[in-house]
């Protein structure tokens, strides 16, 4: 073996080793676990109830963080606390892998409201992504139910849902803008 071959071999094993944690999350097991979620979050994470969020195509890091936060009670919701009580870290990783790999939902939003929301949405895109597709810990907002998004903005503003950046942003945002922003992101 010459030295080029040797370094290629090392690279190959290193690459195989480094990709292990990613492939550890098992979409098929996640799909099985997700059967109990469908009664509220809909088939493949496409929810038909505007109070219950779409999970399809949501960022897997964000999903993982939220499931852990419901489990510990850092994010308060009675339904989700009981749904997460018996999930292991592995279940959570598998569920996040499954939902994040599904095709995005498109909730839609009132067109006139969405238009006025668009003019206020620029400041959100730095974190939530240029098309609001999300990124890691920053959730996808595109296609989410406007009613759900508005509720969350209110929860950040009152502090009933905790998040440093979102509490700071909603503190300075008039509540009158929530509906328009929610309609805009829902329409994407």
CB closer to ligand HEC out of 37 and 93: 37
Residue 113 Cβ vs ligand HEC, minimum distance, rounded to whole Å:
13
Cα gap 107→53, rounded to integer Å? 10
CB closer to ligand HEC out of 13 and 140: 140
Residue ranges in contact with ligand HEC by CB under 6 A:
36-37, 39-41, 51-53, 55, 58, 63, 65-67, 77, 79-80, 83, 95, 123-124, 126-128, 137-139, 141, 149, 151-153, 163, 165-166, 169, 173, 181
Both structure tokens of 149: 């998004």
Residue 112 Cβ vs ligand HEC, minimum distance, rounded to whole Å:
18
b/e burial code for range 14-50 (CB count within 10 A of at least 16 → b): eeeeeeeeeeebbbebbbebbeebeebbbebbbbeeb
Residue 184: φ, ψ to 5°: -65, -50
Residue 37 Cβ vs ligand HEC, minimum distance, rounded to whole Å:
3
Spatial CA neighbour of 45 closest among 33, 55, 30, 35: 55
CB closer to ligand HEC out of 101 and 127: 127
User: Is the four-CA dihedral 26, 32, 33, 35 of positive or negative sign?
Assistant: positive
Residue 42 Cβ vs ligand HEC, minimum distance, rounded to whole Å:
10
């Amino acid at each position: 073996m010459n030295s080029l071959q040797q370094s290629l071999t090392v690279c190959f094993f290193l690459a195989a080793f480094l990709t292990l944690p990613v492939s550890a999350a098992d979409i098929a097991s996640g799909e099985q676990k997700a059967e109990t979620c469908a009664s509220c979050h809909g088939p493949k994470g496409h929810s038909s109830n505007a109070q219950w969020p779409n999970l399809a195509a949501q960022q897997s890091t964000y999903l993982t963080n939220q499931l852990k936060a419901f489990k510990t009670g850092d994010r308060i919701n009675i339904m989700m606390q009981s749904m997460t009580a018996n999930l292991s870290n592995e279940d959570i990783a598998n569920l996040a892998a499954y939902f994040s790999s599904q095709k995005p939902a498109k909730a839609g939003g009132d067109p006139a409201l969405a238009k006025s929301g668009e003019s206020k949405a620029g400041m959100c895109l730095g974190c939530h992504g240029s098309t609001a597709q999300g990124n890691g810990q920053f959730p996808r907002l595109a296609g989410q139910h406007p009613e759900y998004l508005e509720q969350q903005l209110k929860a950040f503003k009152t502090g009933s849902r905790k998040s440093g950046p979102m509490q700071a942003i909603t503190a300075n945002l008039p509540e009158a803008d929530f509906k328009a922003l929610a309609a805009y992101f829902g329409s994407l």
